[in-house]
């Protein structure tokens, strides 16, 4: 299939055809007038002038048509300033990857916390076991230093600590209370007096402490010095 000429091409072809036609007509008219003028000088001069005018008009028409057909030069657009380079955004994680990373971080945090709790629990157990061993050793040492007894200077086994202080206040103690260890109920504490070692632990029994509780620190062992 042949390509159809564009409208601009058709216009140029039409103008070119018109120009060629006008040139042919001018040449024919000039030739005819030349033949006629050969017999009459007046006609020759007049025809020559008319022919020249006709050719001049044809040339002007051709110039105008050519000027009209010539495309006008459109002004070139001025260069617009290029936009400054915007910083390239850093690579961000897609939602699924971000969720997976967050879940992994949470799991690691939980695992770390669990491990820390286990370590702390193990340390606490070791501390308690060590204290219990030391308590037993201290009790053995106390027994070696003195003889066990059920009473001493108004103090008896099972007596609440508050009642002991009423009879033997802290100022009578030979030293500060000492923690020997612990058991399932709580701490095991030793009070040292000039005449005896008193071992206390948290127990239920007769009588109450100053707060009215029957479960309080009571004398569980007495060793005379």
Looking at per-residue confidence, does 11 or 116 come out higher? Answer: 116
| Same domain (yes/no): 49, 134 | no
- Burial degree of 59 (CB within 10 A; 0-12, 13-18, 19+): middle
Is 91 inside a domain boundary?
Answer: no
pLDDT-based confidence at 57, cuts 50/70/90?
low
| Same domain (yes/no): 137, 215 | yes
| Same domain (yes/no): 63, 144 | no
| Same domain (yes/no): 139, 214 | yes
What's the pTM value of the predicted model, to 2 decimals?
0.39
69, 94, 109 - which closes a domain: 69
| Same domain (yes/no): 149, 62 | no
Share of the chain above pLDDT 70, in %: 57
The yes-or-no verdict on residue 138 having pLDDT over 70 is no
Is 173 inside a domain boundary?
Answer: yes
The yes-or-no verdict on residue 27 having pLDDT over 80 is no
Is 100 inside a domain boundary?
Answer: no
69, 96, 111 - which closes a domain: 69
Domain count, the chain: 2
Looking at per-residue confidence, does 212 or 136 come out higher? Answer: 212
52, 69, 86 - which closes a domain: 69
Is 3 inside a domain boundary?
Answer: no
Here the tokens at position 72 are 């006008």
Looking at per-residue confidence, does 169 or 92 come out higher? Answer: 169
pLDDT-based confidence at 210, cuts 50/70/90?
confident
Is 103 inside a domain boundary?
Answer: no
Is 97 inside a domain boundary?
Answer: no
Summarize pLDDT for 150-166 with one digit per residue, the tens: 999 999 999 999 999 99
Is 44 inside a domain boundary?
Answer: yes
Summarize pLDDT for 173-208 with one digit per residue, the tens: 988 999 999 999 999 999 999 999 999 999 999 988
Q: Which residues contact 173 (CB under 8 A, 6 or more apart)?
A: 191, 192, 193
Is 106 inside a domain boundary?
Answer: no
Q: Which domain holds residue 35?
A: 9-69
Q: How far apart are the first and last CA of the chain?
A: 131
| Same domain (yes/no): 57, 144 | no
Reduced 3-state DSSP string for the chain: CCCCCCHHHHHHHHHHHHHHHHHHHHHHHHHHHHHHHCCCHHHHHHHHHHHHHHHHHHHHHHHHHHHHHCCCCCCCCCCCCCCCCCCCCCCCCCHHHHHHHHHHHHHHHHHHHHHHHHHHHHHHHHHHHHHHHHHHHHHHHHHHHCEEECEECCEECCCEHHHHHHHCCHHHCCCCCEEEEECCCCEEEEEEECCEEEEEEEEECCCCCCCCCCEEEEEEEEEEC
Mean pLDDT of the chain: 76
């Amino acid at each position: 299939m042949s390509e159809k000429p564009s409208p601009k091409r058709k216009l140029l072809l039409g103008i070119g055809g018109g120009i060629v036609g006008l040139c042919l007509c001018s040449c024919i008219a000039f030739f005819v007038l030349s033949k006629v003028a050969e017999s009459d000088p007046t006609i020759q001069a007049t025809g020559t002038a008319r022919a020249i005018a006709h050719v001049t008009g044809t040339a002007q028409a051709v110039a105008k048509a050519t000027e009209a057909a010539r495309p006008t030069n459109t002004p070139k657009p001025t260069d617009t300033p290029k936009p400054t380079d915007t910083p390239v955004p850093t690579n961000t994680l897609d939602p699924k990857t971000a969720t997976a990373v967050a879940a992994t971080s949470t799991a690691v945090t939980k695992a770390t916390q669990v491990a820390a709790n286990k370590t702390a629990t193990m340390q606490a157990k070791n501390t308690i076991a060590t204290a219990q061993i030391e308590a037993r050793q201290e009790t053995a040492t106390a027994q070696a230093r003195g003889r066990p007894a059920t009473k001493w200077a108004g103090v008896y086994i099972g007596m609440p600590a508050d009642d002991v202080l009423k009879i033997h206040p802290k100022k009578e103690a030979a030293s500060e209370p000492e923690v020997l260890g612990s058991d399932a109920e709580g701490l095991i504490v030793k009070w040292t007096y000039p005449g005896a070692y008193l071992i206390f632990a948290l127990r239920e029994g007769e009588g109450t402490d100053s707060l009215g509780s029957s479960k309080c620190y009571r004398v569980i062992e007495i060793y005379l010095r």
